[in-house]
Amino acid sequence: METVTFFSLFIIGLSYGSTACMFTCMPFLSPLLVNNSNTIRESINVVLPFSLGRVFTYTVISVIALSSAALVKELLNDNIVFQSSLGVFTLLMGLFMFYRVLKKEKKGCSTNSSMPNNQTMSRLGLFGIGALVSVNLCAPVLTLIALSANSGSLAGAIGMGISFGLGAVLIPFLFYGFFLSNVFRGLLIEFRSYAKSIEMMASLLLIAVGVLILNGQIRL
């Protein structure tokens, strides 16, 4: 019976991820991919931590729902903290991208030892944005809550959260990791002389999205 439930949640997540989620993720992933789409590996390094953050949140929601569906619904309805956190994360990621663009001019003065820390910070930031973006009370998530609350076991609730999460991130992962990154890569090759300006505009766009979220003008 649980196997059928897992598969059903995967399909629900797949449907959700191929429609509403595609547009929800676009303001965050598109500017980041402009800066990191020289190879498929670079694109995946952006999309993967973002996607894992989303799966993590759906799993946490599912586990909490097992203990108290009413509590998790209340937390999700009162999403001011999550909205503010998402705005801060997005703003910081935009500033970090802008810093990297400026740093390229001083590449000769930079040291290789600092790069791993910057990459780690970037992945943690992407994971955090993905986790916060997923705190959104919609019909598919309510279905996940309802089924998890009645799962009867912690393993079942975790399985439901992971099944839904994998379904929700699959199509966006393929779209942003492969298709959209190829589009950006083609554009950057075509406009190579404008690459720095494109990267800077992408950074400013992400900063603007963060500010709009903090001001409540963008709600997820």
Q: Counting runs of H as helices and runs of E as strands, what totals does the chain give?
A: 10, 0
Reply yes or no on whether the pLDDT at 21 is more than 50.
yes
Dihedral sign (CA 120, 129, 155, 75): positive
pLDDT tens readout for residues 87-131: 777 777 777 777 766 776 655 444 444 444 445 547 888 898 888
Q: Percentage of residues in the chain with pLDDT exceeding 70? A: 67
Lowest-pLDDT choice from 22-36, 102-116, 201-215: 102-116
Question: What angle, rounded to 10 degrees, do the helices at 69-77 and 40-67 form?
Answer: 130
Reply yes or no on whether the pLDDT at 145 is more than 90.
no
Residue 211 pLDDT: 83
Residue 167 pLDDT: 92
Residue of 155, 147, 165, 192 whose CA lies nearest to 17: 165
